[in-house]
Amino acid sequence: MHKTVLKVGGSNLKSIEDFSRIISLMKTYERPVILVVSAFYGVTDCLEKAVSDESYAGELLEYLHRVHRLVLERYIIDKDRIVRASEELTVCLSALEELLSSKERHQVATINEILSFGEKLSARVIQALLDANAVACRLALPEEIGFVSNQRFYQGSILLKKSSHNLKKHLNADVTWVVPGFYAISEQGKTVLLGRGGTDYSAACLAHCVGASYLDVWKDVEGYLSGDPKIISGVKKISHLSYQEAAELSYFGAKILHPRTIRPLVSKRIQVRLFNPEKHLEPGIRNEATRISYKTTTGKEVIKSVTSDEDVALLKLKGSGVGIKKGILAEVTGAFDKAHINIRSVVTSQTAIHFIFSRTNLQAAKQIVDEINRNLDFDTEIDDDIAWVAAVGQGINQKEGVAARIFTALAKADINVQQIVLGASEVAIYFVVQRKLVSKAVQSIHQEIFNHNNQ
């Protein structure tokens, strides 16, 4: 039985010393476990570059060979093992070379396959180095074990029922497995990426499918904090979050877990434990940095964290009656969906519909709305000089006075709030400000909530 699924991300696969920590952390577990790994640090970006710049392929292949081979040579003593692992590395790199030089290299399916090679390579190397260092384990590739997703390229969603069924057949419960994250296989046999940073999501889905009790995420962070320490002083560590709180914090900008990680965990009450390899390696009882579970707790201050995201842009569809015109929302959102544009927020009134997107999607979204709007004659307007800020905590929409404190703090700091959404989530309030005011906004709220008595 696999009680624990572990995830190690690219930021912990950076320096050659990082790999000795992976061996150490695996030894602290009662095995078997499942280890899900990302690509080595920066490799997915390099693969992306090779897709758009043909002349870079040769240099990239040479680089990938060098960094992966270095790890094998540093951590494996047995020469035969090194030879075997190097041969596998060469086979994998040849397959990548073939894809990079193929006629189809610009097709979406091929690009998805190319970008999955960072994880394919790292999982191979990590399996070999663990196995050679007294952590017996085997490699399990999504295509071999039936870890299946729909065929939405770049943004696949795991088919949990089918994958659970397949994994029962293919993942022997007595074996420790190393699985590459970030991609799955469609039922049509295509490689489908799960979104940038998607290894968290892979690991969460695997934990769901095998019925694990814990998803342990090893990451070089202090844990969830009351704010971003880069812009706020006096931040506090959060020892526990509910699923909903963690999901909203990821959604609104705390870059600790991928926003899709929580969903597959909820129905099976799988707990997330966040560890830092530099701090939590002693065996025995370990205190994780933050735990995420089904339990809900309301602290004295209600708000647990303030977060922000600058990767947002606003598209407005304006005109009297736009908010009540039948079918318009369905038409526009249907068209966004067809173009794979994710809406991050939508707010409607009688005279306006406001959409918020990632900034990269703004122009495409505007074109779609302009096209639909041609016969309707509403006004469209864009604003990509915004950021959003969210305050998250269980009970935030139930306890009187919380919103008042937030907006009083903002008013005192002379910050104009352009849009407020309250009530859409039980645990979050979010609002939009001009981008240049975002740091000041989070600082003033944090000060009001957490350092109130120190003023």
| Binding interface with Mg ion (CB under 5 A) | 10, 38
Task: Supply the minimum distance, in Å, between the C-beta of residue 66 and ligand ASP.
Answer: 19
Q: Measured from the CB atom, is 10 or 393 closer to Mg ion? A: 10
Task: Supply the minimum distance, in Å, between the C-beta of residue 260 and ligand ASP.
Answer: 11
Task: Supply the minimum distance, in Å, between the C-beta of residue 3 and ligand ASP.
Answer: 23
At 448, which amino acid appears?
E
Applying CB under 6 A, the residues found at the interface with ligand ASP are 9-10, 38-39, 44, 118, 181-182, 196-199
Ranked by CB distance to Mg ion, the top (closest) residue is: 10
For residue 321, the 8-state DSSP code is T
* Half-sphere exposure in the Cβ direction for 2 (13 Å, CA): 28
Residues 6+ apart with CB under 8 A from 424: none
- The separation between CA 284 and the C-alpha centre of its own chain, rounded to angstroms, equals 29
Q: Measured from the CB atom, is 205 or 390 closer to Mg ion? A: 205
- The separation between CA 250 and the C-alpha centre of its own chain, rounded to angstroms, equals 8
Task: Supply the minimum distance, in Å, between the C-beta of residue 122 and Mg ion.
Answer: 10
Task: Supply the minimum distance, in Å, between the C-beta of residue 181 and Mg ion.
Answer: 9
Q: Measured from the CB atom, is 109 or 329 closer to ligand ASP? A: 109
Give the whole-angstrom CA distance, residue 403 versus residue 19.
Answer: 46
Answer with the entry of Mg ion, ligand ASP, none that 181 interacts with (C-beta below 5 to 8 A by kind).
ligand ASP
With CA atoms as reference, report the closest residue to 258 among 306, 326, 205, 316.
205
Q: Measured from the CB atom, is 44 or 447 closer to ligand ASP? A: 44
Give the whole-angstrom CA distance, residue 430 versus residue 407.
Answer: 11
Answer with the entry of ligand ASP, Mg ion, none that 118 interacts with (C-beta below 5 to 8 A by kind).
ligand ASP
Task: Supply the minimum distance, in Å, between the C-beta of residue 305 and ligand ASP.
Answer: 22
Q: Measured from the CB atom, is 257 or 429 closer to ligand ASP? A: 257
Task: Supply the minimum distance, in Å, between the C-beta of residue 115 and ligand ASP.
Answer: 8
Q: Measured from the CB atom, is 199 or 345 closer to ligand ASP? A: 199
Answer with the entry of ligand ASP, Mg ion, none that 196 interacts with (C-beta below 5 to 8 A by kind).
ligand ASP
Ranked by CB distance to ligand ASP, the top (closest) residue is: 199
Q: Where are the alpha helices (DSSP H) in 132-179?
A: 142-145, 160-170
With CA atoms as reference, report the closest residue to 124 among 192, 171, 179.
179
| Cβ–Cβ < 8 Å for 22, 216 | no
Answer with the entry of Mg ion, ligand ASP, none that 198 interacts with (C-beta below 5 to 8 A by kind).
ligand ASP
Give the whole-angstrom CA distance, residue 164 versus residue 147.
Answer: 8
Q: Measured from the CB atom, is 201 or 378 closer to ligand ASP? A: 201
Q: Output helix, strand, coil percentages for the chain, rounded to the nearest 5.
A: 40, 20, 40
For residue 225, the 8-state DSSP code is B
| Cβ–Cβ < 8 Å for 227, 305 | yes
